[in-house]
Amino acid sequence: MSNVPKEAIEVIAQSIGITNLSPDVALALAPDVEYRVREIMQEAIKCMRHSRRTVLTTDDVDSALNLRNVEPICGFASRDALRFKKAAGHKDLFYIDDKDVEFKEVLESPLPKAPLDTSVTSHWLAIEGIQPAIPENASIEAPSDGKKAEYKEDGLSVDVKLPIKHVLSRELQLYFDKIVDITMNKSVSILFKQALLSLATDSGLHPLVPYFTCFIADEVARNLNNFPLMFALMRVARSLLQNEHLHIEPYLHQLMPSIITCLVAKRLGNKFTENHWELRNFAAKLVASICKRFGHVYHNLQPRVTRTLLHAFLDPTKTFPQHYGAIQGLAALGPSVKTVLSLFSARSEERKNLEIYSPKVFVYLYYQILKRICSFLNLK
Amino acid sequence: MENMQAVNSFVAAYLKKKGFKEAEQLLEDLQKESAPIDFHNDPDLAKFIHHFSQSEDDVARYQDGYSKLRSWTYSSLDLYKHELLRVLYPVFIHSFMDLVAKGHLQEARTFFNAFHEDHELMHSRDLQKLEGVLSQSHLEEMEFARSLRQNKVNIKICQYSYGLLLQYLHKTQSTAMLGVINEHINFQVTSGQPGSISDDTEVVTLIGSCQDAASLINQKEIHWGLLEDSLEERLEKEGGLLSDSEKAEAENKEGDVDDSKKRSVEGGKQGASTKKLKKDKAVNATAKSARPEAKPTPAAPRVKPELTLPVMSTEVEQSILEDLRNRVQLSSVALPSVSFYTFLNTHNGLNCSSISQDGSLVAGGFSDSSLKVWDMAKLGQQAGSSTLQGENDSTSSEHVAGPNGVKRSYTLFQGHSGPVYSATFSPLADFILSSSADTTIRLWSTKLNANLVCYKGHNYPVWDVQFSPVGHYFASSSHDRTARIWSMDRIQPLRIMAGHLSDVDCVQWHVNCNYIATGSSDRTVRLWDVQSGECVRIFIGHRSMILSLAMSPDGRYMASGDEDGTIMMWDLSSGQCVTPLMGHTSCVWSLAFSCEGTVLASGSADCTVKLWDVKTSTKAPKNEEKSGNPNRLRSLKTLATKSSPVYSLRFSRRNLLFAAGVLSKNV
C-alpha cells in the first residue's frame, strides 16, 4: 500500500536486534514511516530553498532533522552521491560500497591543497541594457530566438526593427585588421602566438567569424605558393575552431574547402625544401577535429570528407604529396578508418624518409601498399 | 406506527446531518401531506434509503462515483466545462480524505493513483503533501489536511452550470459524490454567463479559512502613499530653484561625457570595478541632459508616519539629494546598467548575499555560520594598482598571501552558531543585520567590525531579516510562522505578526514604513500594519512557496516571486493581482524596483536577470490603443549570466543595478 513495504520495516527491525516483530506492527509502522520521511523531506526542501540552492544535499536533511528535534544523521556529508552496488547473485539487493581506508596511508599521504578562499569579482553584466561581450558574460547566441518569441507573444511589438546592416564595433574592426596584418606579415613572431591565443579564448569575437572564414578562404585560394602564409592561415583556423565561445557551425562550409586544399593540394609552396608534409599533417588533424566535433550535427560530414580523401588516394594519376595528404587525413579520422590503413601506418615514417632521398623507391613501396589496401577494402 | 415515527425522525436527522436540505424539505412536505408513509410501496424512496445503507460501507462508490462524475464533466459542454472542472479537484481530494478517514487505506491509495494525474498540473504541491497521508492520525496531524477538512471551498459557478451539476447528481443518484459536494463545497451561484477561464486563480489556493476572511480583510483601508516631507518631495520643490544652474552645469559637462564614457567602456572590459564609480557618474551625466524632458510622475498621496522615525544628519541628506539629482531616468527604452558581483570558491556554502545601497559593500552569509563582507571600492583600487590583468585571481591571491591567513580580501564576522540565512545593510551601510538557523538575529557594525547586539526572540530558524527604508527598525521572519518588528535599541521585538499557516519565508517593508509584507510557504502574501500588528491584506494566487518581495517606490504596487519562477504584481489598495509575469524557469530569488518605479528587475536560479516594464499602461497611451491589452506588463530584456544563479539585486539611488550571484559549475 505505502511506498515503504513492510518487509523494509522487518529488515530494519532485524538489523537493530528485534527478531520477533509481529507482522501487524510492521504493517502499521510502514505507512507512518513514509509519512515521517515525507515530512522531513518537506522541511529539507525549505532549508534547501533558504540556502538558495536547487539541489537537495545531506546538509539540508540534517537541518530538517534539527528543526524537528531529531538527531541528525552524521557521516554522510560527502559531496558525491552514495554509490549503491548490486550484490552479486541477488536481483534486488544493493549495498553501499564503502572502501577500507588504511590509517597509515591517510597519515602518510601529503596534505591536500587548501581550498581557495571565497572571493568576489565584479563585471558589467549590461551597460545601458546591452550585454558587453566579455569573457565573464555568457555568449549571446542562444537567447535571440527566445527573445523573438517573447515579442510575438506580447503583441506589443512597437519597436519593429528594419533589417539592419551588420554593425561591427570599431574595436572589433581594429582587432580584425590587426590579426589580418599579423597573419599576413609576421607569422613567425611571438605576437602571432599571442594573437592565436586570443583567437582561441576570447568570447567576444563572434561577429568576426564570417570575416575570418572569408579571409582564410580567400587567402588560401590566392596563396597556394606561399607556404608560411598557408601554415599561418591554418593556425588561425585552428584557433577559431578551438574557441568554445564561437558559434562556428554555420561557417564550416566556407572553412572546409580551404583546409582540405591544404591537405591534398598538388603543390604547396614553391620550394622543394619547404616542409609541406608538416602542413599536411596539421591540416589532417584539423579535419579530424572538425569531424569529431561536428560529426554528430552533420551526420554526412565525415562520410563526405572520407570519400573526398579516398578518391584522392585511390586515383593513381595524383601526385605523391596528394596521396600522402589523403592518407594522413584518413589516418587522422579515427580508429575505424585507421584500421583500414593500419597496414601501412607503421611504415609512414620510413616512407617519408625514403621519399626525400629516392622518390622511385617510394613509388614502388607506395603502390605495394596501395594494392594491399585495395585488396583489404575489397575483402570488406 | 411508533416504529414508523422513529424511522422518520431518524431519516430526517440523518438528512440534516449530511446537509441534504432539499431531501429534508421533501421529507417534511411528504410528512405534512400524508402522515404515514408507506416505505415499501414507494420504490424510489426505498431505493434511496437502500443506497444510503449501502454507501456507508461500500467504498467502491467513491471511486465509481468520482470516475463517472469525471467523465461526465469532461464530456460536458465546452462553455461550461471549465467551471465544472473546478469542482473536480475539491471532490477528488475530499473523496480521498474520506476514504482515508474511514480507514480504507488500500482503496484510498488506488483511488489517488487512478486520478491524481488530472490535477498534477495545477496542484502538484498539494498532491505531494496529500500523497503522504496514510492513516487517520495523519489527517489530524497534518495542518494542511486539517484546514481542508474544516473549511468549505468557495467555487464561483454560473446558474446554468450549477443546474447541470445538480441534475447530473440527482439523475445518477451518486450519493457519495453528492455528500462530498454538499459537505465541502460552497457554491456561489451567479446568474448570467459562465466566468472566464482566467478566474481560476481563486480556486487554486485551497487554504480554507482564508477565503472568506481574506476578502473581509482585503476591504480594510490602507494608506499606501509616500511619507510626508520625504527627500524626494523636497527635491521637487528645490528643483525649481536649481534647474537653471543645473542646466548650465550639464552643458559644461557634456563635452566630458563622451570621453569618460568611452573610457568606462574600456574599463568594463578590463577591470570593471576600478571604473565603476566613474561610470556611474558618466551614465548619470548623460541622463542629466535628458532630464528636463522627463515629465514629473503624478504625485502619490502623502501619509504621516506611524512610527517615530530616526533623524537624518544634514551631510547624509545632502549626499542623498545629490544622488537623486543625478539619477538616471529609466524606462522601456533606457535600460539600466548592471554590475554583477560574482562569488567564487564558495564550495556550495553561500546562503544569501546582500548589497549596500551604493554597491560598495557586499555581504555573504554562509552555511558555516560566518558572515563575510567585501568592500568593493577597496577591491577595485587594489586591482587597479596591480597591472590590469585578468582580475579573477589576482585579487584573491594578493590578499590571501599572508602565511597566517590574517590578510583576507573580506571582513569576517563570526558569532552565529548556525547557517546564516539572510543579511541586510542599513540604508547608510554602517550596520549589517544577519539572521541565522540558531534562531537569533545579530547586529554588526561595519565601522567597528564587531557584533553589537544579539536579538533573541524567534523560536526557530530566522529565514529573513530586512532593515526598514529609514533604518533603525527592522523586520524578521521565521520558521515559527511569525514575522516580528524590532528596533535596534531593544532586544525584545516590538510587534509579533502571527497568522500565516506555514513558514514565513520573506519579509519586506513598505516604502512609507507603516506596513510590512510577508511571503510564506502557505503560498500567500500578507500585508501587516506595523503600528497595530494587524493583517490588512492577504494576496492569494501563487502556486508555490514565495521567495522574494519588492515594493514599488510609489508605494502602490508590490511584486512577489515564487519557487516556480512566477512573479506577480499586486495592487495594494485593491488586493488584486495586476498581472502575473511569466518567464523565469526556476526560483526567483530576488526582486527590485528601479528608483522611480518604471523597471522591475528579477534575479533567478535559472541564471538570468530579467528586466520588466512595469509602466507600460501609464506611460504609453498610444500602445494601449493598438494592442488592446493595456494592463499587460512585458519583459524588456533577459540578461544571462555565465552559470551564476542570481541571489540578490539592488538599485542604487542613481539607478545603477547591482546583482550578486555565485558561480556554480553544475547548474
Q: How confident is the model at residue B476 (pLDDT cuts 50, 70, 90)?
A: very high
* Strand ranges, E, within chain A: 84-86, 94-96, 119-126
**Degrees (nearest 5) of the Cα angle B406, B408, B413?**
90
- Residue positions counted in chain B: 667
Between B425 and B403, residue with greater pLDDT: B425
Mean pLDDT of A232-240: 87
Q: Is the pLDDT of residue B353 over 50?
A: yes
Q: How far is A65 from chain B (nearest CA, A)?
A: 13
Same domain, B561 and B656: yes
Q: Return the CATH fold of A6-108.
A: Histone, subunit A (1.10.20)
Q: Which of B111, B124, B134 to mutate to test the interface with A (most CBs of A within 10 A)?
A: B134
Q: How confident is the model at residue A348 (pLDDT cuts 50, 70, 90)?
A: low
Residue B288: inside a domain = no
The answer to whether the CB atoms of B350 and A52 lie below 8 A apart is: yes
In chain A, residues 77-106 whose CB comes closer than 8 Å to chain B: 79
Same domain, B19 and B166: no
Residue B536 pairs with which residues in a beta bridge? none
Residues of A in contact with B282 (CB under 8 A): none
Q: Is the pLDDT of residue A153 over 60?
A: no
Average pLDDT value for chain A: 75
Residues of B in contact with A157 (CB under 8 A): none
The answer to whether the CB atoms of A138 and B106 lie below 8 A apart is: no
The answer to whether the CB atoms of B336 and A150 lie below 8 A apart is: no
Highest mean pLDDT among A151-165, A268-282, B233-247, B268-282: A268-282
**Rg of chain A (C-alpha set):** 32
Mean pLDDT of B360-375: 92
- Residue A123 touches partner B, C-beta closer than 8 Å: yes
Average pLDDT value for chain B: 76
Residue in the block written with cell 544628519: B313
Least confident of B260-274, B564-578, B612-626: B260-274
Looking at residue A37, its pLDDT comes to 86
What is d(CA B424, CA B362) in angstroms, rounded to the nearest whole number? 10
* AA identity, residue B254: E
The answer to whether the CB atoms of A120 and B609 lie below 8 A apart is: no
Q: How far is A50 from chain B (nearest CA, A)?
A: 6
Residues of B in contact with A130 (CB under 8 A): 335
DSSP-derived secondary structure for B48-102? HHHHHHHHTT-THHHHHHHHHHHHHHHTS-HHHHHHHHHHHHHHHHHHHHHHHHT
Mean pLDDT of B395-409: 45
Looking at residue B289, its pLDDT comes to 39
What is d(CA B446, CA B375) in angstroms, rounded to the nearest whole number? 10
Choose the closest CB to B362 out of A120, A127, A147. A120
* Residue finishing a domain among B174, B190, B206: B190
Residue B612: inside a domain = yes
Least confident of A40-49, A338-347, B573-582: A338-347
What is d(CA B316, CA B552) in angstroms, rounded to the nearest whole number? 23
Same domain, B130 and B3: no
How much of chain B, in percent, has pLDDT values that exceed 90?
26
Residue B455: inside a domain = yes
Highest mean pLDDT among A305-314, A339-348, B35-44: A305-314
Q: Is the pLDDT of residue A195 over 50?
A: yes
What is d(CA B607, CA B640) in angstroms, rounded to the nearest whole number? 6
Q: How far is A130 from chain B (nearest CA, A)?
A: 8
Residue B225: inside a domain = no
Helix (H) / strand (E) element for B570: namely strand B567-571
Residue B454 pairs with which residues in a beta bridge? B442
**Count of CB atoms within 10 A of residue B433's CB?**
26
Backbone angles phi, psi at B364, to 5 degrees: -130, 135
Q: What is the pLDDT of residues B303-349, one digit of tens each?
A: 777 777 878 788 888 888 888 888 888 887 888 999 999 998 888 88
Same domain, B450 and B583: yes
- Residue A164 touches partner B, C-beta closer than 8 Å: no
Same domain, B519 and B568: yes
Least confident of A342-356, B409-423, B470-484: A342-356
Residues 6 or more apart whose Cβ sits within 8 Å of residue B62: B95, B98, B99, B107, B111, B176
Cell reading at A274: 619547404
Same domain, B79 and B167: yes
The answer to whether the CB atoms of B589 and A42 lie below 8 A apart is: no
Q: How far is B572 from chain A (nearest CA, A)?
A: 25
Q: How far is B393 from chain A (nearest CA, A)?
A: 9
Q: Which of A130, A141, A145 is nearest to A247 (CA)?
A: A141
Q: How far is B71 from chain A (nearest CA, A)?
A: 26
Q: Is the pLDDT of residue B504 over 80?
A: yes
- Residue A338 touches partner B, C-beta closer than 8 Å: no
Looking at residue B282, its pLDDT comes to 43
Burial degree of B18 (CB within 10 A; 0-12, 13-18, 19+): middle
Residues of A in contact with B637 (CB under 8 A): 126, 129
Cell reading at A151: 515579442
In chain A, residues 34-73 whose CB comes closer than 8 Å to chain B: 34-35, 38-39, 42, 46, 49-55, 57, 59, 63, 66-67
* Residue finishing a domain among B190, B209, B242: B190
Looking at residue A50, its pLDDT comes to 93
Mean pLDDT of B12-19: 75
The answer to whether the CB atoms of A126 and B338 lie below 8 A apart is: yes
Same domain, B514 and B555: yes
Looking at residue B57, its pLDDT comes to 55
Looking at residue A302, its pLDDT comes to 75
Per-residue exposure over A308-339, b if at least 16 CB sit within 10 Å of its own CB, e if not: bbbebbeeeebeebbbbbbbbbbbbbeeebee
Looking at residue A155, its pLDDT comes to 41
Q: With contact defined as beta carbons under 8 Å apart, do B296 and B560 qualify?
A: no
The answer to whether the CB atoms of A125 and B547 lie below 8 A apart is: no
Q: What is the DSSP letter of B615?
A: -
Q: Which of B100, B111, B143, B342 to mutate to test the interface with A (most CBs of A within 10 A)?
A: B342
Same domain, B658 and B533: yes
**Count of CB atoms within 10 A of residue B133's CB?**
26
The answer to whether the CB atoms of B587 and A51 lie below 8 A apart is: no
Residues of A in contact with B605 (CB under 8 A): 52, 54
Residue B228: inside a domain = no
Q: Is the pLDDT of residue A320 over 70?
A: yes
Q: What is the pLDDT of residues B44-92, one digit of tens each?
A: 555 555 555 554 556 778 888 888 888 888 877 777 777 788 888 888 8
The answer to whether the CB atoms of A128 and B109 lie below 8 A apart is: no
- Residue A316 touches partner B, C-beta closer than 8 Å: no
Q: Which of A271, A333, A256 is nearest to A302 (CA)?
A: A333
Residue in the block written with cell 527566445: A146
Q: How far is A170 from chain B (nearest CA, A)?
A: 12
**Degrees (nearest 5) of the Cα angle B165, B170, B176?**
90
* AA identity, residue A163: P
Looking at residue B496, its pLDDT comes to 94
Q: How far is A56 from chain B (nearest CA, A)?
A: 11
Q: Is the pLDDT of residue B637 over 60?
A: yes
Looking at residue B648, its pLDDT comes to 94
Same domain, B468 and B550: yes
What is d(CA B568, CA B562) in angstroms, rounded to the nearest whole number? 9
Q: With contact defined as beta carbons under 8 Å apart, do B107 and B212 qualify?
A: no
Q: Which of A364, A362, A334 is nearest to A348 (CA)?
A: A362
Q: What is the pLDDT of residues B170-196, one digit of tens each?
A: 888 777 788 888 888 888 887 776 665
Cell reading at A209: 567569424
Between B369 and A142, residue with greater pLDDT: B369
Phi-psi label, residue B35: left if phi above 0, alpha if psi -120 to 50, beta otherwise: alpha
Q: Is the pLDDT of residue B262 over 70?
A: no
Q: How confident is the model at residue A265 (pLDDT cuts 50, 70, 90)?
A: confident
The answer to whether the CB atoms of B396 and A116 lie below 8 A apart is: yes
Same domain, B84 and B9: no
Q: How far is B283 from chain A (nearest CA, A)?
A: 8
- Residue A125 touches partner B, C-beta closer than 8 Å: yes
Choose the closest CB to A156 out of B392, B545, B634. B634
What is d(CA B653, CA B655) in angstroms, rounded to the nearest whole number? 5
Q: With contact defined as beta carbons under 8 Å apart, do B153 and B58 qualify?
A: no
What is d(CA B115, CA B102) in angstroms, rounded to the nearest whole number? 19
Looking at residue A242, its pLDDT comes to 85
- Residue positions counted in chain A: 380
Q: Is the pLDDT of residue B158 over 70?
A: yes
Between B51 and B482, residue with greater pLDDT: B482
Helix (H) / strand (E) element for B591: namely strand B588-593
Same domain, B499 and B558: yes
Mean pLDDT of A7-15: 86
Helix (H) / strand (E) element for B194: namely none
Between B197 and B220, residue with greater pLDDT: B220
Q: What is the pLDDT of residues B83-117, one digit of tens each?
A: 788 888 888 888 888 888 888 888 888 888 888 88
The ranges assigned to domains in chain A are 6-108, 171-376
Helix (H) / strand (E) element for B641: namely none
The answer to whether the CB atoms of B632 and A125 lie below 8 A apart is: no
- Residue A137 touches partner B, C-beta closer than 8 Å: yes
CATH number at residue B501: 2.130.10.10
Choose the closest CB to B396 out of A34, A117, A132. A117
SS3 at position B263: helix
B175, HSE (Cβ side, Cα atoms, 13 Å): 18
Q: How far is B491 from chain A (nearest CA, A)?
A: 24
Q: Is the pLDDT of residue B253 over 50?
A: no
Q: Is the pLDDT of residue B15 over 60?
A: yes
Which homologous superfamily does the CATH classification assign to the domain defined by A171-376? TAF6, C-terminal HEAT repeat domain (1.25.40.770)
What is d(CA A296, CA A301) in angstroms, rounded to the nearest whole number? 9
Q: Is the pLDDT of residue B534 over 50?
A: yes
Give the domain range for residue B18. 1-32
- Residue A7 touches partner B, C-beta closer than 8 Å: no
Number of domains in chain B: 3
What is d(CA A336, CA B422) in angstroms, rounded to the nearest whole number? 58
Between A277 and A59, residue with greater pLDDT: A59
The answer to whether the CB atoms of B364 and A118 lie below 8 A apart is: yes
Q: How far is B490 from chain A (nearest CA, A)?
A: 27
Same domain, B439 and B536: yes
What is d(CA B547, CA B526) in angstroms, rounded to the nearest whole number? 13
Residues of A in contact with B665 (CB under 8 A): none
The answer to whether the CB atoms of A132 and B269 lie below 8 A apart is: yes
Looking at residue B247, its pLDDT comes to 43
Looking at residue B339, its pLDDT comes to 92
Q: What is the pLDDT of residues B581-634, one digit of tens each?
A: 888 999 999 999 998 888 999 999 999 999 998 875 444 444 333 343 444 567
Q: What is the ipTM of this complex?
A: 0.70
Q: How confident is the model at residue B294 (pLDDT cuts 50, 70, 90)?
A: very low
Q: How confident is the model at residue B516 (pLDDT cuts 50, 70, 90)?
A: very high
* Residue finishing a domain among B190, B214, B236: B190
What is d(CA B9, CA B15) in angstroms, rounded to the nearest whole number? 10
